[in-house]
Structure formats: C-alpha cells, structure tokens
Amino acid sequence: MLQKNGLRDRRLENKVSGILGGVAFGYLALCFLAPYLLPSDSIPELSGRANAIDYAFESSWGNDEHGEGGSVGHDQALHGGVFAWSELNPVWALAYGFGDLNCHQKHERSWEINGNQMPVCARDIGILLGFSIGCLFFGLRGFNRWTVRDSFLSVLPDKWLHGIYEKDRRMIVMLSIMALGLIPMGIDGFTQLLLDSYESNNMLRIVTGAGSGVVGGWWFCSAFSARPRFFQDAGGVTLPAGSRLVVK
C-alpha cells in the first residue's frame, strides 16, 4: 500500500525523527538528572558566555573575578566558588560541558535542582523540549516529498494544502510557520538585550524557547528526510491537488 507521498513505507522519516528527537530529549533528560543526582549544593551559581567554554577547568574564564552587574560573568568567589565540569564523572561532565559551550548559563535565568544549577538556562530547556516535540510531530505525520518545503508541509492534511499548491505558495507558508515559532523568542530576547528596563522571566523564556524548538525540530527532520533518491523521478512524488514536481 502506497503512502501519501507515493512511497511504500516511511522508515526514513521514523529513523530521522527518532535520531534527532532522541538526541535532543536525551540531553534534556540529562539536564534534569545531573543536578538531581549530584551531591547537594555541589554546582555553584554560574555566569558565562554563549558559544564559549568558561568552566572547563579551575583556571578557566568563568572562575575569574569579572565584577558584579556586568552583561557577562561575575565574581565567581561570591557565587559558591570555583567550578570545573572536567572534574565531574564523564556523563555529568558531558551535560555541563555541552551547556558551557552552547549557553551563557546565567544563574538568574536558570533553574536549580537539589541546590545545583542546571546545565543550561530556562530558554534552552524550552528549546530542547520544543525540538523534541517537533521531531515527534514529524515522526508521526511527516513524509519525504523530495524537497524540504514539501516534506515540511507534509505533516498537514493534504486537503488543507490544495489552495497553497494550486498557487504555489509552499515556500511562503513554510517560512510563515517558521516565523511564528521563532519571532516570539526573538522579540523577547532582543527586547531584554536592548532595553535595560525590560527583564523577561523564566516561564516566558520556556514558552518562547519551546515555540522556536518545535519549528526547529520540524524543519531539521524535514531537511534530513527530503531525499529524492527514494523516488524514480520527480514525477513519482504524490502531492496535494494533483500537483507535480518538475526538475529544471
């Protein structure tokens, strides 16, 4: 029996969503397990830089005295003392090391469990949760339809897409959905960055991060699942409204 994209199975889509979603959800679980299972009060308050390694060793940047009230960093001695994730066991080191590299880890924007700061901030927790949901969404409903945009839109019922395909507005619709997920986080983050009078809160960071993560997971699954080699030719892709792909 043929699937709605014209192929006989969707093992590729399940594999892609399982790998991407599994990695995201696995790390999300580590973010909760690491502070919970580590000894109480063993992870101090942190404040680093995004896309930089700040707390790998006792001599690392994050453990220096950077002054209080700055945009990055603080006087680490006043926030629980020196921290080096390289001294943790390999699993917990992975959790905090990856967080160190990818997140600013500002303690005022992060949660604590068992007296230990989590490896990433609240917004990144939302992004990871949303990304996992986006992957699950595509894994349940998505199909390889040759191009990224057609694969992205395949999660929606075909009857909703007839007008979009008849007018060839596929790219506009995909970008609009992506914008709906990304713009709220962008507004919240940049407003906080540009206006000293505005400070977001962790619940809003979670919600806006989750919206961004959902469309991110959905898009990445679509991108890795869009594989023309599974079809004999472009004409073999089944699309809504009787549309056909034409390779120029």
β partners of residue 116 = 113
Give the ranges where 39-121 is alpha helix by DSSP (H): 90-102
| Nearby residues of 3 by Cβ (< 8 Å), 6 or more positions away | 9, 10, 143
pLDDT digits over 56-71, tens only? Answer: 999 999 999 999 988 8
Say what the pLDDT of residue 69 is.
83
Domain ranges in the chain?
26-120, 124-242
pLDDT digits over 114-166, tens only? Answer: 999 999 999 999 999 999 999 999 999 999 999 999 999 999 999 999 999 99
When the pLDDT of each residue in the chain is averaged and rounded to a whole number, the result is 95
C-alpha to C-alpha distance for 31 and 95, rounded to whole angstroms: 6
Q: Is 201 helix (H, G, I), strand (E, B) or coil?
A: coil
Low-confidence residues of the chain, pLDDT below 70?
Answer: none
Best CA proximity match to 20, nearest among 30, 10, 28: 28
pTM: 0.94
Other CB atoms within 10 Å distance of the CB of residue 77: 12
C-alpha to C-alpha distance for 222 and 120, rounded to whole angstroms: 26
Other CB atoms within 10 Å distance of the CB of residue 163: 11
Other CB atoms within 10 Å distance of the CB of residue 10: 20
Residue holding tokens 């995201």? 24
Residue ranges with strand state E in 37-162: 112-113, 116-117
Say what the pLDDT of residue 14 is.
97
Say what the pLDDT of residue 198 is.
77
